[in-house]
Structure formats: structure tokens, C-alpha cells
Amino acid sequence: MTANTIEHNRQRQQFVGVDSVWLFGYGSLIYKVDFPFLERRPASITGWTRRFWQGSHDHRGTVDAPGRVVTLVEQPGAECRGMAYRVSPSVFEHLDEREKNGYLRFTTTLTFDTNERAEGLVYIATRDNSAFLGPADDQSIARQIAGATGPSGPNREYLLRLAEALRALGDEDAHVFAIEKHLHRHLA
């Protein structure tokens, strides 16, 4: 699949007669809220885990020196904590543009902190997108992040702001925090 997913996403959910949709954010969508929302609530989804396995040529890196950003990979029993936003369907025009480098909208079940549940959407960059980089050891990921910058700013800012936002949500994400530790060592 080509990296630009705008057209793919337009075909996926049509939103006919729908007033609002829950969106689950687990990466930059937690801390960079450049879209209007009707309601925001911490939430989790199960069966997925956050990984710095997606390449970023458009936001946090370049074609020659891609950065790394998070996507979700399937892991039975895993829980991924993030932020849910109830948005008007028109917001997806902006979000599809923002998430166009490989991310597709999938439906998922969100669990709020009150244990209430709702159906929602989540952007996931799957292994078959051409910007997918896949696994590497934590130190190599940190080194790549330290050396990448794109139109949205340094890749390290993406990592540090995500780690900060996850702490604020009370999340213990061993993968993100281990890479953050290596980044600090690398920069020291």
C-alpha cells in the first residue's frame, strides 16, 4: 500500500447521518490537539500495544532521514491507554491529512475509566504500508529519533511529549519509557 492513505480513509467510513464519533488517540493525538472536539476522556483499548515502528517522512523526519513515530501492533491481552475525543465527522478531513503517512482508520471498542464502553475509531499504520519500519532495539530507535527532524519539529520532541503525556495519564509504557531513557543518555 502507498504511504498516502487519504483516499483509502475516505472510502472506509462514510459517516452518513452520524453527528459525532469517538476517536482514540495513543500517540501525538494525545498531546497535540489541533482539532475541535465535543468531549475528551481518558480511555484504553485492548489487544493492541504502542510501538515506535512507523517511519515519519512528513512530520518528524524527511525522506532521506525518516523519524520514528508510534503505531499499534496486535498483542493478545495487551492494554493501550490513551485519550478519547468525541468529534464531529467533519474533523476527519483534517485528521486524514495529518495522519496520511500510512495510517488507516479502524473501528475499535474504547473503555473509559468509568468502565463504560463505546465504539470508536483509531488510526493504525499497519505493516503493509510503505513507511512501516518495524522493530529495532530501543537504543537504535532512540538514536534514530535523536537524529531526525521534519516539518513538525524534532523527532525527539514527539517522544518526550508523548512520554510526558503518558505519565500524566498514569500509564506505565515500558517501550516508550525505555526509548526515552536511551534518548536522554544519547543526548547527555
Among positions 33-92, residues that touch ligand SIN (CB under 6 A) are 69-70
Q: Which stretch binds ligand SIN (CB under 6 A): 23-31, 134-142, 149-157, 171-179?
A: 23-31
Among positions 136-175, residues that touch ligand SIN (CB under 6 A) are none
Residue with cell 476522556: 41
Q: Which three cell numbers stand for residue 35?
A: 482539532
Residue with cell 500510512: 102
Nearer to ligand SIN, 164 or 185 (CB): 164
Measured in whole angstroms, how far is the alpha carbon of residue 168 from the centre of its chain?
17
Residue with cell 538514536: 143
| CA 104/CA 99 separation, integer angstroms | 8
Q: Is 99 among the catalytic positions? A: yes
Q: Which stretch binds ligand SIN (CB under 6 A): 20-28, 104-112, 129-137, 149-157?
A: 20-28
Which residue, judged by CB position, is nearest to ligand SIN in the bound state? 27
Virtual torsion, Cα 122, 123, 126, 128, nearest 10 deg = 140
Q: Which three cell numbers stand for residue 84?
A: 478519547
Query: Choosing from 74, 99, 157, 164, which is the catalytic residue?
Result: 99
- How many residues bind ligand SIN (CB under 6 A)? The answer is 9
DSSP state of 35: S
123 sits near ligand SIN (criterion: CB under 6 A): yes
Taking the CA of residue 58 as centre, how many other CA atoms within 13 Å lie in the half-sphere pointing to its CB?
12
Q: Which stretch binds ligand SIN (CB under 6 A): 19-27, 36-44, 109-117, 132-140?
A: 19-27
CB atoms within 10 A of CB 174: 9
CB 32 → ligand SIN: shortest distance, Å?
A: 8
110 sits near ligand SIN (criterion: CB under 6 A): no
Active-site positions? 99
**Residues in contact with ligand SIN by the rule CB under 6 A:** 25-29, 69-70, 99, 123
